């Protein structure tokens, strides 16, 4: 995914979730754009390093 910004889970509270399609693990939608979800994205990086 391009043009992503890392955010904290607390930043996503109150934001509207996207309804179409599944969000990949490690990402969330904020204002209609994919952003890195800090807690999940750390796990994604650990998996990639393994």
Range list of β-strands (E), 5-45? 6-7, 27-30, 33-37
Q: Is residue 37 part of a domain?
A: yes
Per-residue pLDDT, 15 = 57
Give the range of the structural domain holding residue 43, as residue numbers without chain letter. Answer: 6-49
The answer to whether 33 and 3 have CB atoms below 8 angstroms apart is yes
Q: How many domains does the chain have?
A: 1
Name the 3-class secondary structure at 40.
helix
50 pLDDT more than 70: yes
pLDDT digits (tens, 9 = 90+) for 30-40: 888 889 888 88
Task: Let me know if 49 is exposed, middle or buried by CB neighbors in 10 A (0-12, 13-18, 19+).
Answer: exposed
Structural domain contains residue 14: yes
Q: pLDDT higher for 23 or 50?
A: 50
Q: What digits encode the pLDDT tens for the residues 4-49?
A: 566 666 666 655 554 567 888 888 888 888 898 888 888 989 999 9
């Amino acid at each position: 995914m391009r043009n992503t910004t890392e955010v904290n889970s607390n930043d996503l509270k109150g934001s509207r979730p996207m309804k179409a399609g599944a969000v990949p693990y490690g990402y969330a939608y904020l204002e209609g754009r994919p952003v890195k979800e800090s807690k999940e994205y750390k796990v994604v990086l650990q998996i990639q390093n393994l």
